[in-house]
């Protein structure tokens, strides 16, 4: 497994190492601190595949080449205009009210930018069938009314490490490198970097 990971990282470095990433990635969350922890965690996940990413707002990153990560959609305008679109990761809770808020947030960003790839990251636990029904309904509504197809789903369970990371301004991996939430961020980073892992589809009945 380790050798496979090394081979994947080497291939991605060859593919992306000498070129600018085409689209900026925005991580949208209900709270700015969660969004900041989200982009830091995506950056660490990409680093695990040997891909460097810069987080918007850090000193010296304004004109940095390669993948740009944003935690504030209001700062996307120039990068999104140059790239012709964005990749969007939206974090929210798995309950019905949280799903409604997720749709509203995606709609707001879709009104300003073309979304090339969309990933949904859910936290919180609800009854299994309720959660699956919410995910199916959300995916259907996003594609039908906004033309935004969900390319990847991620689940953080209770999201305790993400909340702790938000409190201290760090990445999830820096607090619990081998934990489930770290692995989920790594998996999502691999998807953004070229689909190294299988897509996680919402179940339907």
- What percent of the chain clears pLDDT 70, i.e. is strictly above it? 77
pLDDT of residue 119: 92
125, with CB counted inside 10 A (0-12, 13-18, 19+), is middle
117 vs 203: which has the higher pLDDT: 117
171 vs 148: which has the higher pLDDT: 171
pLDDT of residue 43: 93
Confidence of residue 53 (pLDDT cuts 50, 70, 90): confident
pLDDT at 123 over 70: yes
Average pLDDT over residues 161-169: 96
52 vs 42: which has the higher pLDDT: 42
Q: Which of 162, 69, 161, 73 is nearest to 109 (CA)?
A: 73
Phi then psi dihedrals of residue 38, to 5 deg: -65, -45
pLDDT at 148 over 80: yes
């Amino acid at each position: 497994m380790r050798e496979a990971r090394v081979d994947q990282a080497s291939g991605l470095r060859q593919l992306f190492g000498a070129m600018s990433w085409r689209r900026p990635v925005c991580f949208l969350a209900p709270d700015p601190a969660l969004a900041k922890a989200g982009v830091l965690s995506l950056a660490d996940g990409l680093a695990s595949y040997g891909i460097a990413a810069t987080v918007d707002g850090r000193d010296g990153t304004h004109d940095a080449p390669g993948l740009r990560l944003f935690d504030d959609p209001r700062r996307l305008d120039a990068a999104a205009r140059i790239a012709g679109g964005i990749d969007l990761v939206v974090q929210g809770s798995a309950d019905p009210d949280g799903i409604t808020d997720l749709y509203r947030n995606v709609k707001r960003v879709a009104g300003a930018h073309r979304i090339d790839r969309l990933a949904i990251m859910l936290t919180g636990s609800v009854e299994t069938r309720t959660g699956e029904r919410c995910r199916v309904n959300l995916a259907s509504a996003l594609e039908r009314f906004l033309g935004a197809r969900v390319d990847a789903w991620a689940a953080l369970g209770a999201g305790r490490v993400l909340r702790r990371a938000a409190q201290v301004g760090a990445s999830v991996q820096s607090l619990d490198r081998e934990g489930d939430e770290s692995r989920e961020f790594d998996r999502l980073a691999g998807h953004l970097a070229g689909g190294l892992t299988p897509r996680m589809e919402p179940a339907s009945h």
